[in-house]
Structure 1
Amino acid sequence: MSLIGTELKPFTAQAYKDGKFVTVTDADVRGRWAVFFFYPADFTFVCPTELEDVADNHDTFARMGVDIYSVSTDTHFSHKAWHDASPAIGKIRFAMLGDPTHALARNFNVLREGQGLADRGTFVVDPDGVIQLMEVTSEGVGRNAMELLRKIKAAQYIRANPGQVCPAKWEEGAETLAPSLDLVGKI
């Protein structure tokens, strides 16, 4: 079942961020763009490459008004240990949410029941708490922060410009489309 257009469900999670343990709730997310970046587990293989890629682009996400929340079913304690042990994960400045009860993974339909792990899922939530983008890949397929940034720019553009849509390979500043009867069969 697609979560596109659905509202973020209530949650409370413990997180590791900026050298501290913090509580993050759905209320904290509202009012800004947010990315929930699920990954299977700490201390694994593809996950640190993805998280490092997002961390390397953290300033760009921040300039766009986007908060990042990485999430795995590990605890916030495990996130701290991984942050302290790994140079790649040590770059992270965004909240690393623990989900040992699997509530968030279930809310986003990415929990692998029976395994206790989350699928590799990315969800972009708008300031109203509505899911605008989602992508779920198999465990061996890593994600790309630059492509995520492009998609968020498109989502922000169409939110700010009702009646416009962004075609394939759209980049910021490129031409958009205004769907109409005149365009049917002409593209």
Structure 2
Amino acid sequence: MINTEIKPFQATAFKNGEFVDITEQDVKGKWSIFFFYPADFTFVCPTELGDLADHYEELQSRGVEVYSVSTDTHFTHKAWHASSDTIGKINYFMVGDQSGNITNNFNVMREGQGLADRATFLVDPEGVIQAMEITAEGIGRNAGDLLRKVKAAQYVAANPGEVCPAKWEEGEETLVPSLDLVGKI
């Protein structure tokens, strides 16, 4: 899926107290995170979504929009947002994908369950997937590490010919792949 363009979709999301219709065209022109999770009103999911909400302002400052996606409806997202302090702090899009179209487009639908895997995709402004992570049901994700990956992807996009080594943090040295580096790292 890396380096492939996202497929067309149409959905309704809950954001800032309103229902908003979105398509893949709304994603183009900016960096985007698609944050798939199994279901509302569960256990690991709210901890992940709350962690992501805590990092949303910094992601926004970097020009990144966030789309959390489950196969619940946008109505269920609104009810969860209203009933949970953790979910109530979310300001990003909570996308209802009850048809499974988006979840299937990203190939993260659990066969026979109608639920999304715990999966994250970083999409560049051209709509191309630059990073992805999929974890097992009980393994929550870390929004701080996701932010680090966003910074690395944005750096690489802005600096062709350079790459970011393991655990790279913004401001640290990068690498310029060349014959001179072979066997010296």
TM-score, with normalisation over the residues of structure 2?
0.99
Deviating beyond 2 angstroms after TM superposition, the runs of 4 or more aligned structure 1 residues are: none
SS in 2 for 1:117: coil
Identity in percent:
68
Q: How many correspondences in the alignment?
A: 185
In the TM superposition, residue 17 of structure 1 has moved relative to its aligned partner by 0.5
Q: 2:104 is matched with which residue: 97, 103, 106?
A: 106
Query: How far did residue 67 of structure 1 move?
Result: 0.1
Asked whether 1:163 is paired with 2:161, we answer yes
User: Which residue in the other structure is 1:50 paired with?
Assistant: 48
User: d(CA) in 2 for partners of 1:29 and 1:145?
Assistant: 20
Q: Which residue of 1 aligns with 2:177?
A: 179
1:153 Cα deviation after fit: 0.2
2:142 match: 144
Q: Which residue of 2 aligns with 1:15?
A: 13
* Residue number in structure 1 paired with 2:115: 117
Query: What is the deviation of 1:78?
Result: 0.4
User: 1:121 is paired with a residue of what secondary structure?
Assistant: strand
1:49, 1:123 → 2: CA distance? 18
| Aligned-pair CA distance for 1:57 | 1.1
Q: Which residue of 2 aligns with 1:34?
A: 32
- 1:59 maps to amino acid: E
The equivalent residue for 1:67 is 65
Gap runs ≥5 in structure 2: none
State the match for 1:88 in structure 2. 86
2:2 corresponds to: 4
Paired with 1:104 and 1:19, the residues of 2 have a C-alpha distance of 22
Letter in 2 for 1:132: Q
Partner of 1:132: 130
- 1:113 positional shift: 1.6
In structure 2, C-alpha distance between the alignment counterparts of 1:14 and 1:114, rounded to whole Å: 24
Q: How much is the aligned-residue C-alpha RMSD, in angstroms? A: 0.4
Instruction: Give the superposition deviation at 1:174.
Output: 0.2
Distance 2:157 2:54 in 1: 26
Could you list the per-position Cα deviations for residues 134-185 of structure 1 after superposition, in whole angstroms to 9, with x for gaps in the alignment? 0000010000110000000000000000000000010000000000111111
> TM-score, structure 1 length as denominator?
0.98
Instruction: Name the SS of the counterpart of 1:171 in structure 2.
Output: coil
Distance in 2 of aligned mates of 1:171 and 1:22: 35
Amino acid at match of 1:100: Q
- Could you tell me how far 1:87 is from its partner in structure 2? 0.4
Q: Unpaired runs of 5+ in structure 1?
A: none
